[in-house]
Amino acid sequence: MARNKIALIGSGMIGGTLAHLAALKELGDVVLFDIAEGIPQGKALDIAQSAPVDGFDVELTGANDYAAIEGANVCIVTAGVPRKPGMSRDDLLGINLKVMEQVGAGIKKYAPNAFVICITNPLDAMVWALQKFSGLPKNMVVGMAGVLDSSRFRHFLADEFDVSVEDVTAFVLGGHGDSMVPLARYSTVAGIPLPDLVKMGWVSKGRLEEIIQRTRDGGAEIVGLLKSGSAYYAPAASAISMAEAFLKDKKRVLPCAAHLSGQYGVKDMYVGVPTVIGGGGVERVIEIDLNKSEKDAFDKSVGAVAGLCEACIAIAPNL
């Protein structure tokens, strides 16, 4: 029986970590792809040389040609450039949009049946453009942000309450960015919603607000500490959980940037919502009840994503 094949488009910090995790978990053979020559080959060889120590049997290869991703079951896209000093968000958007055009063409040609997980920023707009450039079914192209954002929220909550991270569930909706919407009402410790924990005296309302704000600023906090580059361990782990849900048909309920066609009143946009991920890709978008303030925050976040999509169309009218 042939192994699954996982193609990593972009072999930078997240790409390399993805390759290591996918290999350790024996999710399948791994192909690292990048335009930088030597980087994907070097990382593939380095990780392959750890296989005898850790005892995993997967093949790792590095490539600069899209033909190497042929027949991949999963493609995880991190290709692009990060924001550098003096660069506006629009500059970044323009450059990464061109990258998505190339990546979309490569996937369309060599891996049209793959489940595609986009990580490149600005996430909600890039995944939207990648789906259009690749022409793959909308349920097979998804963006990673919600798993990471809710994992950050869970970490902070578990730390605050001094309980296991395993017993904390958290819910984050909306776009990946300043306007993300962490939902306290749907976040729990072993099923006890956060507002109840406030009533039980576990945490004050003010402190909970601080934790929510720290979650929103989670990416920036790490950028500030690292000085160059952004987070990569938790983003890679988050994308791997999505790939695993697909490859093992686990039907996990995960928040992802999914294509909406009317759900939550949103049409033809990718926004962070709870989904079911299994062998059919995004098998379901779960529509939860939002109260007035949650809906307002969600709509504001959707507005921010719509602005990014419009900026994409201004650059690439063929979208």
Catalytically annotated residues:
176
Binding range to ligand TXD, per CB under 6 A, among 33-41, 181-189, 244-252, 310-318 = 33-41
Smallest distance from ligand TXD to CB 203, Å: 26
Q: Could you say which residues in the range 199-258 bind ligand TXD, by CB under 6 A?
A: 219, 229-232, 235
- 123: contact with ligand TXD by CB under 6 A: yes
Site string for ligand TXD, 81-100 (x = CB under 6 A): xx----------------x-
Q: Which of 119, 194, 247, 256 is in the footprint of ligand TXD by CB under 6 A?
A: 119
Q: Which residue has the tokens 């995880």?
A: 76
Smallest distance from ligand TXD to CB 78, Å: 4
Q: Where are the beta strands (DSSP E) in 78-185?
A: 115-118, 141-143, 168-169, 172-173, 181-182
Tokens of 122: 């600005």
- 176: contact with ligand TXD by CB under 6 A: yes
**Spacing of C-alpha 222 from chain mean position:** 17
As a whole number of angstroms, the distance between CA 110 and CA 95 comes to 23
- 102: contact with ligand TXD by CB under 6 A: yes
Dihedral over Cα of 10, 16, 17, 22: its sign: positive
144 vs 189, beta carbon nearer ligand TXD: 144
Q: Which of 121, 134, 139, 275 is in the footprint of ligand TXD by CB under 6 A?
A: 121
- Strand order through the sheet with 188-189: 168-169, 188-189, 192-193
- 34: contact with ligand TXD by CB under 6 A: yes
Binding range to ligand TXD, per CB under 6 A, among 10-18, 153-161, 241-249, 310-318 = 10-18
As a whole number of angstroms, the distance between CA 305 and CA 122 comes to 9
Residues 6+ apart with CB under 8 A from 13: 229, 230, 232
- 141: contact with ligand TXD by CB under 6 A: no
- 120: contact with ligand TXD by CB under 6 A: yes
- 273: contact with ligand TXD by CB under 6 A: no
Query: HSE (CB half, 13 Å, CA atoms) of 266?
Result: 25
The amino acid that residue 224 corresponds to is G
Residue 310 burial class via C-beta count within 10 angstroms: exposed 0-12, middle 13-18, buried 19 and up: exposed
Smallest distance from ligand TXD to CB 52, Å: 27
Give me the residues that bind ligand TXD (CB under 6 A), please.
Answer: 9-15, 34-36, 39, 78-82, 99, 102, 119-121, 123, 144-145, 148, 176, 219, 229-232, 235
